[in-house]
Structure 1
């Protein structure tokens, strides 16, 4: 169960934009991966883009020096707190564990290991200080990119650790009915999220107007089987010079899933230096770190099934320039 203070509701986005950007990178699920942080800061600097780290930028960084460096570097940009930062920032433990609010199909063993990782990381955060600053981070941001109103969240449009922006939920027949209510309450054109740790992008043509949900999955972990790169969401008034994994054009702006290539061999060494073989994080994540999850690009972006040029997560695909129609019954 999510703690009560994880909830906010769609109407919270019906406000003036917190910031404006020509190009925005949304970086969810960095998980303390410094090589991925190097890569995304360089990528953003090349086009003077704004960076938002939308939660869980800490996770594997239990080494105090690494934790402090990740924290300092992320804070030079815009940041939201995810469930990890929220639980690290609590003065009194509410018993929420890692705050992941996993769906029922996740085993209790996995939940227990995540809670153990959080306990270790809390000790690091307590030693390094800065817990109050983590607690003060916002849960949501509204960003104006061109004509788009973008709602940036960690989980979904109702909860910090919500799972309703997962592929499984977005593809349910009843989801457009719920999203119609969400769009009317929020006036948001694009929601950018990450909490589910697997990427998905879906477009809906609703009665109140089009809506895109762009979930980057994880910047600091592989997202597809037999790959080594992370993914970030890029939203800009011009398309990326990099060929995206997937692209939707809406109101003259581009919403893109961009692969984040980082020095994965260096990352493997840094991970193992903190979480050696047999440790809680190694048991839960090492297989994904080296081989990727059992998930495919066509699950994340079903339109790719119509294009034969997509091979092993590479970007040999036509750009998708028109929103896919998903009408409310």
Structure 2
């Protein structure tokens, strides 16, 4: 079967938007901010969620916490699912592919998990993700489904004098992989991303979806400051070998006082950090195994990463163009 038509590799038409949407004015709650947290890929990790909320509560100034999708995934226990959703929706949220597929009351399975996996992801991983999504549907109630359906696919925010497009995937699709660290290594692809910046009128994009963090700087020409892609990787899983912490993106007018920044840049006088979420690894492991013991799909796909982290290191996060 053609890979493009395979469930889990498909990007449905209703996932798409154009970069021009980011020219719209931010909602009042996302204007004139001093601190912005962007949390992608929580994956139902309650221990990480508790730590994120603790760090955010300690921040001073005009602040906003945005969950940019896939806050559900491992939380197949209905009570855990409900707690995660209630806590997330108390803040600002947009939907990732997980929430979009869960929101569909009559899924046809054409999209599978909605991940739109690229060809470097093996078929077995794709098939397991489709089955994880099907099992996760058993945790969601009609009211929860309706709340997820109401969430937007993208947002804009203003921190200092920086305009930020917030997405789950990339600048043209909810499940796009255009901000993946793998694609951003390609010179031709970075030309496309530059076009997205010009069409969207933003100074930076904050994303997730692709599971590995990258802060990519792009030259936008002599008339504009450089643009940045801030991809936090995953808030609810390890992002580096031997480091159990999740990551979020913190964008603020003042430096980060919390310990644990794994990567940091300054952009338009803003301090941007890949901020570590250091939840108790034993508690994370116990909660995961209670829902996904050995022999289950999520265990096969993710337990090795939860235990030891992916083959990736902090020095690989910040990318300057040659």
Fold match by TM threshold 0.5? yes
Q: Indicate yes or no: 2:122 matched with 1:110.
A: no
1:298 positional shift: 2.5
Q: Map 1:65-214 onto structure 2 (within 5 A).
A: 65-95=79-109, 96-126=111-141, 129-207=143-221, 208-209=223-224, 210-214=226-230
Instruction: Please give the per-residue CA displacement for 1:257-306, whole angstroms capped at 9, x wherever unaligned.
Output: 1111111211111111111111111111110001111222222235xxxx
2: CA distance, partners of 1:246 / 1:105: 26
2: CA distance, partners of 1:262 / 1:135: 29
1: CA distance, partners of 2:215 / 2:267: 13
1:129 positional shift: 3.6
1:171 positional shift: 1.7
- 1:40 aligns with 52
Contact persistence 1:36–1:261 (CA under 8 A): yes
- 2:15 aligns with 6
Structure 1 consecutive aligned stretches of length 4 or more whose deviation exceeds 3 Å: none
1:229 positional shift: 0.3
Q: Match of 2:140, SS?
A: helix
For 1:233, which of 245, 249, 269 is the aligned residue?
249
For 1:215, which of 222, 231, 250 is the aligned residue?
231
1: CA distance, partners of 2:298 / 2:267: 39
Q: Indicate yes or no: 2:281 matched with 1:264.
A: yes
TM-score for the superposition, normalised by structure 2 = 0.91
TM-score for the superposition, normalised by structure 1 = 0.89
Instruction: Please give the per-residue CA displacement for 1:108-127, whole angstroms capped at 9, x wherever unaligned.
Output: 1111110111001011114x
Q: Match of 1:206, SS?
A: coil
Contact persistence 1:23–1:236 (CA under 8 A): yes
Contact persistence 1:176–1:206 (CA under 8 A): no
2: CA distance, partners of 1:250 / 1:113: 39
Q: CA RMSD in A?
A: 1.3
1:185 positional shift: 1.0
Q: Match of 1:191, SS?
A: strand
1: CA distance, partners of 2:214 / 2:170: 13
